[in-house]
Amino acid sequence: MLSLSSRGVPTRGFPAQTQRLILRLRDNVPPSTACTAADCIYVSDGEDIGIAPAWTFKRDVFDALPVGKCAVLLPEAMSYLSDGDIIALEPSKGALRVLYRRNSPSNSLLVTERCNHYCLMCSQPPKDIDDGYIFDELELAIPLISKETAEIGVTGGEPTIGGDRFLGLLRTLKKHLPQTAVHVLSNGRRFVDPHFAAAYTDIAHPDLVVGIPIYADVASLHDYIVQADGAFDETVRGILNLKAGGARVEVRIVIIKQNVERLVQLAYFLARNLTFVDHIALMGLEVTGFARANLDSIWIDPIDYWRELTEAALWLEASGMRVSIYNHQLCTIDQRVWHVARKSISDWKNAYIPECSRCAVRDRCGGFFATGTTRHSRRISAVHDAGTSHA
Amino acid sequence: MSKFRPLAAFDQSGAAPYTLLPFRFTRLDRDRYVASNMAGEYAVLDRTTVEALVKHQLASDTNAYRDLASRHFLIDADSSVGRDLLALKVRTRLSRLSEFTGLHIFVVTLRCEHSCPYCQVSRQSMDTEAFDMTLNTANRALDLVFRSPAPHLKIEFQGGESLLNFPLIRHIIVRAKKINAAQGDRPLQFVIATNLALIDDEMLAFAKEHDILISTSLDGPADLHNCNRPRPGRDSYERTIAGIEKARRVLGHDRVGALMTTTKESLRQPRAIIDEYIRQGFDSIFLRPLSPYGFAVKTKSYAAYDVSSWLAFYFKGLSYIIELNRQGQRFVESYAAIILSKILTPFSSGYVDLGSPAGIGIGAVVYNYNGAVYASDEARMLAEMHDETFKLGDVHTASYEDIFLSDRLLDPLEESVALSVPMCSDCAFEPYCGADPVFHHATQGDYVGRKPTSAFCQRNMAIFRHLIRLMEDDPEVRLIFRSWASRG
Amino acid sequence: MDTPSAVVTFDASLFSEETIKKAAYTFAAAASVDIRRSGVEWVCAFRFLRPMKPEDIHETVESFRIEVLDQDLRERVAAETRETRNSILAVAFSRTGLQRSE
């Protein structure tokens, strides 16, 4: 698992009043035309890089820089950082967060930690804090992101809590990264306001999807899982408003002990009522955040719900809907649904266990969340022949 | 989980009595009922549950309650969005109504070289050209086609044997394309219904050029087919198969479809018929009963078997097809697929016989060889028996408004709306059914029909029950049926 | 040969004429049913159209009783949901698009 933030990072040369810097790491001295004020240049051996700030992993190089030179010494744990990556740095505290990695296929912009849900299995527990500065940072960072980036996520917390700032961020993405697909994760409730939904669709981003969770086909169960009264109705109405405006919507279903009993009914419900959504993701649990704390009450072994998962996935598929299974190891699901199982775990989170080394289909399998290798299905076992499975 | 509130805190359904949403229920079998709502969603319930539901005694912590809430049979204090979703689904089903008249059938000739005793259109012998549609009639009919506001247009050529008047087909297609191009180019599709006995390279080249679909007749294996469909030389089967192969080679495999008709001879061999379709590379079959029209009545073919023998045939065939699907062979029974699409999807089907309102004039309009306009193919079959009840007008004398706003069209349309017909208004299967006014006029003398004795009602009720039972009893069949429904 | 007959009675204070009539109509393929009001009862006289075995007559009469009960439930559903039905049809036929209905 990659380390994406650090404290106590050594810095030097930055004026004492410097608050927060957004820096794009560069390999070497680029032609001056390509160098922006936010660029930070790699030094390996005390070479002259002009006036730009410097970054390095080597203590001796860092120490040997000329007096007054702005520089940051990155920890070894972040040695994956390279040209084009973007960091947020508070020089006075040595606080550093990685905002974007050019070589990663799964970059996400976390826009707030606030949320109006309190889901039993939240992987990113919300905080009730004023973090509006994050939007400021991202407005600075987005223009620095490589134009070749294929996809970028927008997540939280609940991004739409930012209201106009959230919409503004999408406009910035459209302006600076017109080739980049944007995937927003939202609970969808804000879109119950038709004006907000219309403002969202009016942005007319060329490649934008919003992923919205529906955990059950009955309101009380969904509301319980997200710990918010009235959430189900607002989310469903929000989706109707979004689709009325032509937005692309993905429905995301995390499977836990509490909703597995109605998973097939939920598939019926979606096929019947929300036929027009663009994608449905059936997702395994990520054991982190609240999910870790509540694990004993929400965990269900995938091997104990493979029947429900198979029927739900095949029903949605037969109904002409696009369906995917995320976060499940192939050895825990019925082979009849392997074709919709995706390698969904972000590169910085995924891992395999020793058993996997003997598996014939490891390359097609998404593996585990690094956080989840401790609690996994009791049925994990190497597949020896790609043509067979347990089910 | 001390920071988290329990499920009970989010379940307000007990706080106030639930409200029923409109639904109907009908006995499924001895112990079970089918309930269906306005959008055609169904639930199978035992009688105790039906009674508890209606009397507001159903407990909110039961799965029956949750299923009924989820499928919009009731709403409670927890959620009101069901009402909106239900309205949306009802609206989706009704949307077909606004797609006025998409299918236009041209009967280009009544002549035919076959002499099938079950012929439902009363074909004429070869040499009587008086039974060909004229150029002038075709042109007038085309003008009416393009007055239709439908977003998609489909022109189907029928007979007799339509290819006996191929020059007229050629003329109509070329002219239709010209008119369409000048009018903004709606999607426009052509189908030729033919027994293929007379198809030649020139016709196929033309069909290829204009992307025409072929619909032919195949009743089963050679013996059965040739027995059902006599022609000089007794070679109908051989000619049909050769024609199918030839047409597929030129037009592409999927451009050729086939329909079968069930005769008394067919009843004992459903498997052989289905196997023949598979052998010929089809991925579906439409197991159709005979209709009470044309020679089928005159020659007693229609009376040769009753509803229950046809149903026995149908169910045997269906169960064989389901077995094939279980073994991994993708093969669809089309009549079931049409019904299943109404049971399992939010959409309604365009099949004319099972539409409510009847679909006459709205789903299809027929231009007969002599210029008479009818409300459906069945209506013109009836007309060949000298019953002109469903004649809407004549292309030579009537205007578009005369024809499509005629009382002849609107009366049966209004009377047939199954929502308001005795028995139908209480029937849980109503959303899957249709009133078929032409059938009821032909057999019972009124548009609506007396349902307890209607063969249409008897047949379809038995099929609805059978399909639902199969789905209730086996999740695998449910999945197979769901995939059929998307094609219905 | 005489076709069989049977008589079934219902408490007229519990079941409406409409209910009894509708239930009887569904048996029209098997029997003609004569319905009379006699004091506090509905008297339904079945005259079957074909010869039947006694156990089949019994079964038909039983299923008629259930049909009357069912019909009564149907009337309740119809009465309770009439307004909802109309408002849903109104929304369905309106041109408001996917927007929520207030």
By Cβ distance, the residue of A192, A237, A244 closest to C97 is A244
Residue of B2, B7, B38, B79 to mutate when probing chain A, most A C-beta within 10 A = B79
> Residues A18-37: what's their mean pLDDT?
75
DSSP letter (8 states) at residue B58: -
The span from the first CA to the last CA of chain C, in angstroms, equals 65
How close is the nearest chain C Cα to the Cα of A247, in Å? 13
Q: Which chains touch A (3 or more CB pairs under 8 A)?
A: B, C
Q: Mean pLDDT, chain B, as a whole number?
A: 85
Closest-CA distance of chain A to residue B439, Å? 32
How far apart CA B195 and CA B114 sit, in angstroms, is 9
How close is the nearest chain B Cα to the Cα of A235, in Å? 10
Q: What is the pLDDT of residue B75?
A: 94
Cα angle vertex A210, ends A209, A213, to 5°?
A: 140
- List of E strands, B163-297: 188-193, 213-217, 256-259, 284-285
3-state SS string for B381-435? HHHCCCCCCCEEEECCCCCHHHHHCCHHHHHHHHHHCHHHCCCHHHCCCHHHCCC
User: Which of chain B's residues have a Cβ under 8 Å away from the Cβ of A275?
Assistant: 345-346
Does residue A175 sit in the same domain as residue A241?
A: yes
Enter the tokens of residue B256.
Answer: 């050729």
Helix axis angle, A231-244 to A194-202, nearest 10°? 40
Return residues 76-115 of B near C (CB < 8 Å). 83-84, 86-88, 90-91, 94
Interface test with B, best of C25, C76, C77 (most B CBs within 10 A): C77
User: Taking CB atoms and an 8 Å limit, are C85 and B423 in contact across chains?
Assistant: no
Q: Which residue of C has its CA nearest to A195?
A: C99
**Facing A319 at nearest CB: one of B66, B78, B486:** B486
* Angle formed by the axes of helices B307-326 and B270-279, nearest 10°: 50
Q: pLDDT digit string (tens) for A93-134? A: 999 999 999 999 889 999 999 999 999 999 999 999 999 999
Give residue-wise pLDDT tens across range A220-266.
999 999 999 999 999 999 999 999 999 999 999 999 999 999 999 99
For chain B, give every domain's residue range. Answer: 20-94, 99-407
Beta carbons of C28 and B51 less than 8 Å apart: no
Residue contact A220–B1, C-beta within 8 A: no
Q: Does B20 touch chain C (CB under 8 A)?
A: yes
Residues A45 and A178 in one domain: no
Residue of chain A with shortest Cα separation from C99: A241
Chain B environment of C85 (Cβ under 8 Å): 22, 38
Whether A96 and A153 map to the same domain: the answer is: no
Q: Which residues of B touch A (CB under 8 A)?
A: 1, 3-7, 9-13, 39, 41, 66-67, 69-71, 78-81, 84-85, 88-89, 344-346, 475, 478-479, 482-483, 485-486
On chain C, the residues whose CB falls within 8 A of the CB of B24 are: 74, 77
Chains with ≥3 CB–CB distances under 8 Å to B: A, C
Which pTM value belongs to this model? 0.89
Note whether A267 and A322 are same-domain residues.
Answer: yes
CATH architecture of B99-407: Alpha-Beta Barrel (3.20)
In a domain? residue A249: yes
Mean pLDDT, rounded, for A15-33: 80
Cβ within 8 Å, pair C91-B22: no
- Tell me how far apart the alpha carbons of residues B481 and B337 are, in angstroms, rounded to a whole number: 7
> What pLDDT, on a 0 to 100 scale, did the predictor assign at position C57?
92
In this structure, is residue A299 part of a structural domain?
A: yes
Q: Do residue B21 and residue C84 have CB atoms under 8 angstroms apart?
A: yes
Residues in chain C with CB shorter than 8 Å from the CB of A244 are 97-99
8 A C-beta contact, residue A20 and residue A89: yes
Residue B76 has a pLDDT of 93
Neighbours of C (≥3 Cβ pairs closer than 8 A)?
Answer: A, B
Helix B307-326 crosses helix B475-485 at what angle (to 10 degrees)? Answer: 100
How far, in Å, are B64, B419, B488, C80 from residue B54 at the CA level?
Answer: 13, 21, 33, 9
Cα distance from B482 to chain C (closest Cα, Å)? 25
Q: How many CB pairs under 8 A join B and C?
A: 69
Q: Which domains does chain C have, with CATH numbers?
A: 5-93 (3.30.70)
Size of interface A-B (CB pairs under 8 A): 93
Does C97 sit within 8 Å of A194, measured CB to CB?
no
Unique residue bearing structure tokens 């050029």: B209
Token digits of residue A264: 């097939």
Task: Flag whether residue A233 sits within 8 Å of chain C, measured between CB atoms.
Answer: no
Asked if C99 has any chain A CB less than 8 Å from its own CB, the reply is yes
C86/chain A closest Cα distance in angstroms: 20
Per-residue pLDDT of chain B (488 residues; tens, 9 = 90+): 568 999 988 988 777 889 999 999 999 998 899 999 999 999 999 999 999 999 999 999 899 999 999 999 999 998 999 999 999 988 887 765 545 557 899 999 999 888 888 776 666 766 667 899 999 999 999 999 998 877 888 899 998 899 999 999 999 999 999 999 999 889 999 999 999 999 999 999 999 999 999 999 999 999 999 999 988 889 999 999 999 999 999 999 999 999 998 888 999 999 999 999 999 999 999 998 776 666 566 666 666 678 889 999 999 999 999 999 999 999 999 989 988 988 998 876 555 444 443 444 445 788 999 999 987 777 777 777 777 777 888 999 888 887 776 666 666 555 555 545 566 778 899 888 765 556 666 666 665 566 666 777 888 899 999 999 999 999 999 999 999 998 76
Q: Cα(B291)–Cα(B299) distance, rounded to whole angstroms?
A: 13
Q: Can you read off the two tokens belonging to residue A369?
A: 């969340």
CA distance C69 to chain B (A): 9
CB contact under 8 A, C84 and B88: no
The C-alpha atoms of residue C15 and residue C66 are separated, in whole angstroms, by: 13
For B83, residues 6+ apart whose C-beta sits below 8 A from its C-beta are B21, B75, C84, C88, C101
Position B442 scores a pLDDT of 61
User: How confident is the prediction for chain C on average, in pLDDT?
Assistant: 86
Residue A82 has pLDDT above 90, yes or no: yes
Select from C27, C81, C91 the Cβ nearest to the Cβ of B21: C81
Q: Are B87 and C84 a contacting pair at CB < 8 A?
A: no
Q: Which domain holds residue A184?
A: 107-372
Extract the tokens encoding A184.
């927003």
Band of residue A30 on the pLDDT scale cut at 50, 70, 90 = low
Give the count of domains, chain A. 2
Q: What is the pLDDT, as a whole number, of residue A27?
A: 87
CB neighbour burial string for A293-314, b if at least 16 within 10 angstroms, e if fewer: bbeeebebebeebbebbbbbbb
Contact B475 A275 (CB under 8 A): no
User: How many helices (H) and strands (E) in chain B?
Assistant: 18, 15
Taking CA–CA distances from B423, the nearest residue in chain C reads C26
Spatial separation of the C-alpha atoms in residues B148 and B410, rounded to whole Å:
16
Q: Quote the crossing angle between the two packed helices B455-473 and B475-485, to the nearest 10°.
A: 130
C100 touches chain A (CB under 8 A): yes
Helices (H), A231-349: 231-244, 263-273, 290-293, 295-298, 306-318
Please tell me the distance from the alpha carbon of residue B70 to that of residue B73, in angstroms, as a whole number.
8
pLDDT value for B412: 57
Which residue in chain A is spatially nearest to B40 when comparing CA positions?
A: A272
Chain C interface mutation, best of A195, A239, A241, A273, highest count of C Cβ atoms under 10 Å: A241
**DSSP state letters, A145-211:** S-TT--EEEEESS-GGGGTHHHHHHHHHHHHH-TTSEEEEE--SGGGGSHHHHHHHHHT--TTEEEE
Q: Are A242 and A114 contained in the same domain?
A: yes
Residues B78, A224: C-beta atoms closer than 8 Å: no
Burial of B8 (0-12, 13-18, 19+ CB in 10 A): exposed
Phi, psi for residue A78 in degrees, rounded to 5: -110, 25
Q: Are residues A42 and A78 in the same domain?
A: yes
Amino acid identity for residue B23 in this structure: F
Q: How many CB pairs under 8 A join A and C?
A: 14
Q: Is B452 on the interface with C (CB under 8 A)?
A: yes
Q: Compute chain C's Rg from CA coordinates.
A: 19
Same domain flag for A119 and A152: yes
The answer as to whether A194 is a domain residue is yes
**Are A65 and A136 in the same domain?**
no
* Mean pLDDT, residues A46-73: 88
Tell me, yes or no, if C1 comes closer than 8 A to chain A by beta carbon: no
Q: Would you say how long chain A is, in residues?
A: 391
CB contact (8 A) between residue A236 and residue B67: no
Contact C98/A194, CB-based, under 8 Å? Answer: no
The ipTM of this complex is 0.89
Residue B353 confidence (pLDDT): 47
pLDDT, average across residues A148-164 = 96
Q: Do C98 and A241 touch (CB under 8 A)?
A: yes
CA–CA gap between residue B313 and residue B127 (Å, rounded) = 38
